[in-house]
Amino acid sequence: MKERNVVLTRLYQSPCGVLMLGSFGDQLCLCDWQVEKRHVCVNRRLQKMLRAGFTEGTSEVMEKAVLQLDEFFVGKRREFDVPLLFAGTGFQQRVWDELLKIPFGETVSYGEMARRIGMPAAVRAVANANGANALSVFVPCHRVIGGDSLLRGYGGGVDTKRKLLELEGVAFSELKRGWCLDKTEGGVWTKRIEGK
């Protein structure tokens, strides 16, 4: 009987919620929020693509990831140097590679992401690839916003996305509904009232 590959997993309690970390060999393959149903699909995809089962445990790369996450969440780290393993289609990997180029404290729209990868009409496909990212925080999909400057879906929830952007120095002010970047206010985040 063939031995099955193993993804070692452990939970990480961040100030924004619980993340599941996973390593495959000496690479981090998982850093995913555990609050929405999406993580079940991400886990299944990883298990299928890596032909691996999940086993609770830890590894050197996960311990390094924990240390760097701790530093990030207290404002002492802006970039990560943990070795990453992308498990996705070629298109998804192109999008995730582009996410790595978005600087700390900056945002881009899904449309801009599509243009950056040379496929300006593929906005929805880019958004879907963004949503399939198994390496939240390390691959900063939280830095991608709607073309209308509204915060759009996020695996950890929109409120977590807002908190991560605030942690990176993106300023917000609150109104009633829908967070958005108000370019007329010098790039200050406001909570947009529907219909305005």
Active site residue ranges: 141
Q: What is the distance in angstroms between the CA of the first residue and the CA of the last residue of the chain?
A: 62
Three-class DSSP labels, 143-173: HEECCCCECCCCCCCHHHHHHHHHHCCCCEE
Measured CA to CA in angstroms, residue 159 lies from 22, 58, 74, 163 at distances of: 24, 29, 18, 6
Q: Contact 116/98 with Cβ under 8 angstroms?
A: yes
DSSP letter at 84 equals: B
Token pair of 36 as six digits: 């929405």
